C-alpha cells in the first residue's frame, strides 16, 4: 500500500544535481539566445532594398568606365613614351657612331607619332571623364542618401526585433516562473535559467543601444537610476505579496503565530503579540486556526 504525502515544493531542498542542470540549461539557452540576437541584423537587412534610380546608377557606371578608360590611356601613353625613349637613344647612338641610321630614324619617328597619339587619347579620355563627373557626383550623393535611409530603417527594425525578442523572452520566463510556482512543480528551479538568460540578453542589448539613444555622460546615469528604482520597488512589492500569502501558512504548520511567529499554545490568543489565533469558521462556526488553508471540521477553504 503506497502513501502519498503532499509537501510544499519550497519545503523540499533543491539538490545539487538540479542546480547543475539548471546552470547547463541556462548556458544552452544563452548560446541560442545570443545566436538569435545576432541574426536580427541579417533579418532586418533582408527586409529592405535601396531604391536607386536607373539614371543614377547609369551615371555612376559611366564615371567608373570613364575613369577606367583614363587609366588605360595613361598606361598606353607611358608605354609609348618608353618605346620613344628607346628608339631615340638607338637613333642617337647610331648617329654618334657614323653608322647608317635611316631605319632607326624611321623607327624613332613612328614611335614619336605613337606617343603623340597616346597623349591625344589620354586628353580625350580625361575630357570624357570630366564631362560625366558632375552628374556622377550628384548621382553618388543621391545613392548615398538612399543607402543611409535604408540603413537607418534596418537599424530601427533590428532594434524593434531585438527588443521584442528580449521582452518576449523575459515575459515568458516570468510567466513560467509564476505558473510553476503556483503549481508547486519541481521544474520550478529551471525557470530561473530562463529568467537569468533574459536578464543577460537585456544587459547585452542595453550595451548595444544605450550609447545610440542616451549619452552616458548626460542622462544615462539618471535614466539607469530611475529604472533601477522602479524595478526594485516593483520587485519588493511582489515579494511582499508573496510573503503575505506564504509566511502565515508556514507558521501555522510549525504551530506558530501567523502574525509574529511566536509559538502558540492551546489558547485562542498569541502569547507573543496577543492577537487572536483561533476564530470561528465562516461556514460551520467551529473553532479554526487563523491562516489555515482549510477548516478541520467542514473543509471550507
The string of pLDDT tens digits covering residues 57-74 is: 898 899 999 999 999 999
Shared domain for 192 and 179, answered yes or no, is yes
Pick the more confident residue, 88 or 19.
88
Pick the more confident residue, 215 or 147.
147
- The pTM of the whole model exceeds 0.75: no
Domain termination site, one of 167, 182, 213 = 213
Mean pLDDT, range 21-36, rounded to an integer: 88
Mean pLDDT, range 81-99, rounded to an integer: 87
Mean pLDDT, range 134-148, rounded to an integer: 89
Mean pLDDT, range 104-111, rounded to an integer: 88
The residue segments making up the domain with residue 60 are: 14-213
Average pLDDT, the chain: 81
- Does residue 104 sit within a domain? yes
Shared domain for 250 and 298, answered yes or no, is yes
Q: Count structural domains, the chain.
A: 2
- Does residue 68 sit within a domain? yes
Domain termination site, one of 213, 231, 254 = 213
| pLDDT beyond 90 at 266 | no
| pLDDT beyond 60 at 8 | no
- Does residue 1 sit within a domain? no
Give the 3-state DSSP-derived string for the chain, with helices as H, strands as E and coil as C. CCCCCCCCHHHCCCCHHHHHHHHHHHHHHHHHHHHHHHCHHHHHHCCCCCCCCHHHHHHHHHHHHHHHHHHHHHHHHHHHHHHHHHHHHHHHHHHHCCCCCHHHHHHHHHHHHHHHHHHHHHHHHHHHHHHHHHHHHHHHHHHHHHHHHHHHHHHHHHHHHHHHHHHHHHHHHHHHHHHHHHHCCHHHHHHHHHHHHHHHHHHHHHHHHHHHHCCCCCCHHHHHHHHHHHHHHHHHHHHHHHHHHHHHHHHHHCCECCCCCCECCCCCECCCCCCECEEECCCCCCEEECCCCCCCCCCCC
Mean pLDDT, range 253-270, rounded to an integer: 80
Domain termination site, one of 177, 194, 213 = 213
- Does residue 44 sit within a domain? yes
| pLDDT beyond 80 at 153 | yes
Predicted pLDDT at 75: 94
Predicted pLDDT at 209: 77
| pLDDT beyond 60 at 6 | no
| pLDDT beyond 70 at 14 | no
Taking only the tens place, the pLDDT of each residue in 198-255 is 888 888 887 777 666 555 556 556 666 777 678 777 777 776 776 666 777 777 777 7
Amino acid at each position: 500500500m503506497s502513501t502519498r504525502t503532499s509537501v510544499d515544493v519550497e519545503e523540499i531542498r533543491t539538490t545539487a544535481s538540479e542546480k547543475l542542470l539548471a546552470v547547463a540549461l541556462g548556458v544552452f539557452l544563452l548560446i541560442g539566445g545570443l545566436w538569435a540576437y545576432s541574426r536580427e541584423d541579417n533579418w532586418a537587412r533582408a527586409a529592405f532594398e535601396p531604391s536607386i534610380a536607373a539614371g543614377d546608377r547609369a551615371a555612376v557606371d559611366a564615371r567608373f568606365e570613364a575613369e577606367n578608360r583614363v587609366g588605360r590611356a595613361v598606361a598606353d601613353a607611358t608605354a609609348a613614351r618608353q618605346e620613344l625613349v628607346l628608339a631615340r637613344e638607338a637613333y642617337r647612338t647610331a648617329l654618334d657612331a657614323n653608322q647608317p641610321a635611316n631605319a632607326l630614324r624611321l623607327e624613332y619617328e613612328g614611335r614619336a607619332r605613337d606617343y603623340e597619339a597616346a597623349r591625344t587619347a589620354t586628353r580625350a579620355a580625361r575630357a570624357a571623364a570630366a564631362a560625366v563627373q558632375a552628374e556622377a557626383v550628384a548621382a553618388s550623393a543621391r545613392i548615398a542618401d538612399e543607402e543611409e535611409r535604408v540603413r537607418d530603417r534596418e537599424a530601427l527594425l533590428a532594434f524593434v526585433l531585438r527588443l521584442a525578442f528580449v521582452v518576449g523572452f523575459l515575459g515568458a520566463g516570468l510567466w513560467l516562473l509564476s505558473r510553476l510556482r503556483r503549481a508547486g512543480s519541481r521544474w520550478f528551479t529551471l525557470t530561473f535559467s530562463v529568467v537569468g538568460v533574459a536578464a543577460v540578453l537585456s544587459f547585452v542589448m542595453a550595451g548595444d543601444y544605450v550609447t545610440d539613444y542616451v549619452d552616458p555622460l548626460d542622462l544615462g546615469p539618471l535614466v539607469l537610476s530611475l529604472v533601477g528604482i522602479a524595478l526594485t520597488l516593483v520587485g519588493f512589492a511582489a515579494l511582499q505579496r508573496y510573503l503575505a500569502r506564504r509566511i502565515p501558512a508556514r507558521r501555522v504548520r510549525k504551530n506558530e503565530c501567523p502574525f509574529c511567529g511566536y509559538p502558540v499554545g492551546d489558547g485562542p490568543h498569541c502569547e507573543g503579540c496577543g492577537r487572536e489565533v483561533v476564530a470561528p469558521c465562516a461556514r460551520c462556526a467551529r473553532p479554526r486556526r487563523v491562516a489555515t488553508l482549510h477548516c478541520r471540521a467542514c473543509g471550507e477553504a
